[in-house]
Structure formats: C-alpha cells, structure tokens
Structure 1
C-alpha cells in the first residue's frame, strides 16, 4: 500500500501544485561593445516551470528585449527561446538559476544574426513573485557580428494553476 501511494506522488508528475506560468519584465544596461551603441534594454518574458523536486524548477522560456539606440544607431531586439533551471533552497528566500538557448535578433540593421544565449540569475522568491539580478549574453561568431550583453534587474509574477 505504501509503495502504491508513493508511486502516485512522484515529484516529476505535472500537477497544479508543482507547475505554473511566470510572466515578467526586466530592465538592463548594455555592457561591452554594445554600450557604445545602445543606452538601455527593456524586456518582457514568459516561462513555464515544473518543480521537478522540492528544490529544483525546470522549464521553457521566451520573451522579447528591445535595445534603445544611442544617437544615430538603429533599434533592434532579441527573442530568446530556451530552457531554464532554478535552485530554490527554501520555499521562500534566495534562489539561483540560469537560462540557456538561442536568441533570434530583430531589426532592420545589416547584421541581425542570432546566437547562443546564457542568462545566469540570482534573486529572492516567494509563492507569487521573483525579484532578481541577471547577466544576459548572446554569443555570436565573428561572421555574425559582436556579442550582445547586458546586466539588469527583473521581476516575474507566478500564475498558479491550483
């Protein structure tokens, strides 16, 4: 009987108690060579998260970040598509995680090729909110242009299914 009950409560099953949607906004300042061309990055994101264990959240992520130009430079944007992992030591408090995937570039400029992106984060969470600092890097090979990097602050709201 105990084995049967445990089998019905595996942490990897998707249930309303362990999965939710995160929606959020973020703001950042460009770093590296991007700082010469843009002044601020403003973004929105959506994530689908499953708590695979009591401390680990895994999921898929996408969004849009707009880079506002300095002087005569052109507007452009970034659309990341990836996966993420988060480690939550407790039900509220500190968390750490990272997003990893591919980022498509938008805009009318001559070089809008995308690249691999990584976005490590550290922040605070509770049942409804996450507030975090992050680094966002889109790494492109020399033929595709310069790397696109910024650091910033963000927040997401958790939409629960239960």
Structure 2
C-alpha cells in the first residue's frame, strides 16, 4: 500500500508541496508500488520502500500541476541544489526530463497537456537547450495537440 506523504515536522518546507510518489519513484529508479511510506520532515523527505529506506532533498523533485505554481523563492532552492551537480551544472537533474515526458505522454486531455507545457515553459531556465527541445517535441506530438490542430485545419477549410 502506498501512503500519501505525511508531514512529520511543525515547519513545512516551501518545496514540500511538490512531493509526489511518482516523482520519488522515478528519482530513486524503483517502481511506484515499491514505495510503502513517505514522510516529509523539516529539511528532507524520508522514503521507505521495498529494500530501501533513504532521504531525498526537497530540491531534487520537480514541480507538479496539482499545487500552486513555482515561486521565485522555489527557484533559489533548486538553483542552490543544482550548483552541486557536476554533470549538468546549474541545470535540473536528468530525471526531470523523464518525469515531464511521462506526464505529457499520459495526459488525459488537451487541457492537461497544455497545463504541463505551461509549467515546463515557466521553468525553462532549468533545462539544457537539448532537453527543452525534446520536451517541446513531445508536446507537439501529443495526440491531443495533433487532434486539435487537425480540427482547426478542418474548421478553417469548411468556413
């Protein structure tokens, strides 16, 4: 059973609103079903799962749609964390791209695809140019976007 994230501190970290089991599973490279319990502590997230008990930084997780959009202070937390990254210095971890690719591909409507795209564009500074281009291509190839474009084209033809 997967429990929802539980707050273990009197103080709530500003990035705690972005904690999701899907993002944690992707970050830890384990199946979602393997996560048993997620606890949000003051400075870290404690994840307990099948053969794993580990701590994850709030700044490792990407923003999600279900909560308020990222604010200026959120960017400072992420940038501080990314400066420590030797591979993509100053940029989001590689798994953010995979997370957003999956979210765009599994979106259930054109509105959801557009909402994910707007979120990605609001944090475009976080991605390398290649990553951003890949995410834009996935957005443009979304079946909902293609259907909408075809509908608009047909509508213009008959009007």
- With the length of structure 1 as denominator, give the TM-score of the two structures: 0.25
Greater strand share, structure number: 1
Structure scoring higher RCO (CA < 8 A, sep ≥ 6) equals: 1
- With the length of structure 2 as denominator, give the TM-score of the two structures: 0.26
Greater helix share, structure number: 2
